[in-house]
Structure 1
Amino acid sequence: MSRHYDQAKGLSEQHDEETHHYVFNQTMMRIKDPARTLKFYSEVLGMTLVKRLDFPEMEFSLYFMAAISPEQRKQWSTDHNQRIKQTFSRPAMLELTHNWGDEKDDSVEFHSGNSEPKGFGHIGFAVPDIDAACERFDKMNVEFQKRPQDGNMKGIAFIKDPDGYWIEIFAADKMPDLLSKHL
């Protein structure tokens, strides 16, 4: 029996025991202005800053953002070192990296990966109701790359964060029907 749920060329059936407790922890994105970007991720997407690390000698800061519920928030330690351990063992976080001074430098821009040369594409958020979420984003003046009714893939949206990174917005319960139209 395969260890994978689907098949694709290049997959290995080998599953080294040493990897059984590896955790996918973070995706790092560079940001220009922490104030505007942290406001976006905390206000628009409801994320929580679980740890901020400043590196004065190298002039940069890291902001670890996680999508956690108020109930989950109670599980986080107020102890600095314990929270560092929690931060680096939790799955699926954003590490937002700010190089000090970038917010004052008009020449600093980041590549979203969606124009040439293509690379990184987007992060994604599941929402309970895509129409309600998009209505909320409209009220908050969030920039859309694609609305649910646009394009070939109806029912998903893409919004942009302040640095131009794309964020896919979808309702998980709608994905089977949506994808079946294209598979």
Structure 2
Amino acid sequence: MLNKRTTEAQVYALGQHISMSAHKARRVIDQIRGRSYEETLMILELMPYRACYPIFKLVYSAAANASFVMGWNEANLVIIKAEVNEGTIVKRLKPRARGRSFAIQKPTCHISIVMKDISLKKYNKYVSKYNQYQDIDTDSITWSQKPKCKKKHTTMSYYDMYSNGGTWDKK
């Protein structure tokens, strides 16, 4: 998303219908809000919660959007907004004794991660200072936001403790 009037640019990733309660996801999201991209990845890899893996994938996706679409460096990215909303509740019936049934409610949540490049902050200050003295259009100013497609595939290796029989509790 690029708002040309204020020269503020943001990228985001949105995960919908993730099968966990919003309360459990908020516990992790509150730890990463306002942190840099690299610090966030370290925190998410080391926290012992099941919510870390889908949030890790969303943060990685938002950074990939920033580097591919906007041409930003991943080292300069900061999470400016991270929120969790409740999704639909999937309802199931479990058979019980004597022909009865028991209702099971499986909650879902929607997670959104918004990132911003902090290296453009210095450039934005320069443009606003320059526009005070001369009457130029900020739409005509271009900086290198063209996609850099030299690196087509990036590989990421990490240890997934949940599917490989980790030692921590999944709750």
**TM > 0.5 fold call:** no
Normalised to the residue count of structure 2, the TM-score between the two structures is 0.29
Higher helix share: 2
- Which has the larger Rg? 2
Higher strand share: 2
Normalised to the residue count of structure 1, the TM-score between the two structures is 0.27
**Structure with more contact order per residue of length (Cα contacts < 8 Å, sep ≥ 6):** 2
